[in-house]
Amino acid sequence: MQEYRANKLRTALDIVRRIENWPTALALRLRRHRPGLRLLAFRKGLNVVCRRDTRDWDVIHELLFAGGYDRALQALSLLSGEPVVLDLGSNIGLFSLRAAAAHPRAQVHAFEPGPPNYRLFEINRLANPSLADRIHLHREAVAGEERTTEWRFDDRNPGASGLYGQGGATFPVRVRAFADVLAALPGQVALAKIDIEGAEYELLNFTPAALWKRVDTISLELHSDPAARQSQEAVLQQFLNLGYQAEQEKVCSYYLHRQPAGLPR
């Protein structure tokens, strides 16, 4: 109990230190069961609109407080030129905002098919005008094969919505094949963030091995296989076989990067 209270106090102090309108953020934590939107103005420049009475705050905490994707974004910040970033499963846009902020010339292509999340992502994009022009938002899902199918919305945990969700409102969405997304881009993908709630198994199995050479690094969040055929360990091994090395990120995901040329595998 003492550790739990210490963690709550640490979170409260982080909120005050990092968010200009910290009373609004504290109210999100203390009065969770009230609907509506709230704008959080971070002291480092990001503006984030989120939904009360949902787990949007958990996503904010993971990406902006707990260091989620830090390893990948640090590597992105050191690149030259105009690196291309893919954000598959964008939710309300926090990863895209962080990627655009991490590199002043990065071009981010974000894919979010669900109307409730897409609308809030567009609000967040417009709330950050210095980043908006470099974030290209697509109202599409990305998986292994192109098709039209249903996307399920989890209104309490919107970040867990997806093609393989259970219950909740459904929306018809277009799915693009990952291979076609890569083919439409002019060059290398510096970083692909993949958080697509189980569709990563299909994406991996339908994408030819040679195309992965177009993707330099990956931030991958693994979920259970919807078809219950493959384990997470087997998927990681497939990426190792494609020439990536895997490092555990601080929160929820793996950072996959290619081994420098000339070193033994």
> Tens of pLDDT along 228-251?
999 999 999 999 999 999 999 988
pLDDT at 123: 98
pLDDT at 4: 35
Q: How confident is the model at residue 260 (pLDDT cuts 50, 70, 90)?
A: low
Tell me the pTM. 0.93
pLDDT at 250: 84
pLDDT at 252 over 90: no
pLDDT at 261 over 80: no
Whole-number mean pLDDT of the chain? 92
Question: Can you tell me the distance from the alpha carbon of 263 to that of 261, in angstroms, rounded to the nearest whole number?
Answer: 6
Task: Tell which residue, 23, 26, 21, has the closest CA to residue 46.
Answer: 21
pLDDT at 21 over 50: yes
pLDDT at 166 over 60: yes
> How far, in Å, are 28, 51, 120, 126, 155 from residue 38 at the CA level?
8, 6, 11, 15, 16
Fold of 67-258: Rossmann fold (3.40.50)
Mean pLDDT calculated for residue range 139-162: 96
Residue 82's φ and ψ, nearest 5 degrees, are -120, 80
2-11, 84-93, 129-138: least confident range: 2-11
pLDDT at 3: 43
Mean pLDDT calculated for residue range 93-113: 98
Question: Can you tell me the distance from the alpha carbon of 114 to that of 229, in angstroms, rounded to the nearest whole number?
Answer: 26
**What percent of the chain lies above the pLDDT cut of 70?**
95
Question: Can you tell me the distance from the alpha carbon of 126 to that of 252, in angstroms, rounded to the nearest whole number?
Answer: 28
Kindly list the domain boundaries of the chain, sorted by start residue.
1-65, 67-258
Q: How confident is the model at residue 264 (pLDDT cuts 50, 70, 90)?
A: very low
pLDDT at 30: 78
pLDDT at 17: 96
pLDDT at 263 over 60: no
pLDDT (tens digit per residue) in 185-232:
989 999 999 999 999 999 999 999 999 999 999 999 999 999 999 999
Q: Are strands 84-88 and 47-51 parallel, antiparallel or unpaired?
A: unpaired
Q: How confident is the model at residue 2 (pLDDT cuts 50, 70, 90)?
A: very low
pLDDT at 165: 87
CB burial of residue 106 (10 Å; 0-12, 13-18, 19+): buried
